[in-house]
């Protein structure tokens, strides 16, 4: 059995800004089909992608938060945010649609260091 490489997907964009978050999420779902362990890090503005109560229909777009809720059905539960980034937008973890692990900003470098592959969209 080949040891699976550990994959980290970094989200960096706010909602409705580009297709990057959607693309990154597609990668996550594809990894699930191949049993590749994947972690998701929502950096900076990307914490806003996790904000509850979005109404994407007003912009005539698909609701990415709905699809993010499907992660659990794909057995993807390793989601991370940086406390300082939440604080910048006066958010708490209760404002988020996903259960995320907290990561201290000072731990970011060693966190990234531990992965084998990092995709930063």
Partner 1 sequence: MTSSTLHIINKAASNSQLYRDCLDSLHDDDGVIFIESAVYTACGAEPEMFSNFNITAYALKTDILARGIQDKISEKITVVDDGEFVELCCLYKKSVSWF
Partner 2 sequence: MTPQIHNLLDEEGYLIDLDLWNEELMYALAKADNFELTSAHLEVIDTIREFYHEYQLSPAMRPLVKAMQNKYGTEKGKSIYLMKLFNDSPPKQAARYAGLPKPLNCL
Residue 110 to residue 72: CA distance in whole angstroms = 26
56 sits near partner 1 (criterion: CB under 8 A):
no
Query: Which of 70, 87, 104, 112 touches partner 2 by CB under 8 A?
Result: 70
97 sits near partner 1 (criterion: CB under 8 A):
no
Phi, psi at 83, each rounded to 5° = -50, -45
58 sits near partner 2 (criterion: CB under 8 A):
no
Report the residue number, 12 or 93, with the smaller CB distance to partner 1. 12
The residue whose two tokens read 């990415």 is 64
Which residue, among 33, 30, 13, has the nearest Cα to 21 in the 3D structure? 13
What 3-state DSSP class applies to 43?
Answer: coil
Query: Which of 62, 88, 101, 105 touches partner 2 by CB under 8 A?
Result: 62
Residue ranges binding partner 1 (CB under 8 A) = 10, 12, 43-44, 105, 108-110, 112-113, 115-118, 120
């Amino acid at each position: 059995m080949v040891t699976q490489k550990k994959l980290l997907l970094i989200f960096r964009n706010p909602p409705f800004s580009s297709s990057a978050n959607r693309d990154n999420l597609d990668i996550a779902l594809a990894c699930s089909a191949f049993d590749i362990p994947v972690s998701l890090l929502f950096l900076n503005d990307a914490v806003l992608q996790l904000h509850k109560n979005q109404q994407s229909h007003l912009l005539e777009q698909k609701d990415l938060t709905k699809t993010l809720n499907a992660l659990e059905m794909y057995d993807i539960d390793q989601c991370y945010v940086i406390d300082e980034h939440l604080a910048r937008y006066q958010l708490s973890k209760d404002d988020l649609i996903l259960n995320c692990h907290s990561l201290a900003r000072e731990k970011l470098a060693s966190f990234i260091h531990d992965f084998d592959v990092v995709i930063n969209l």
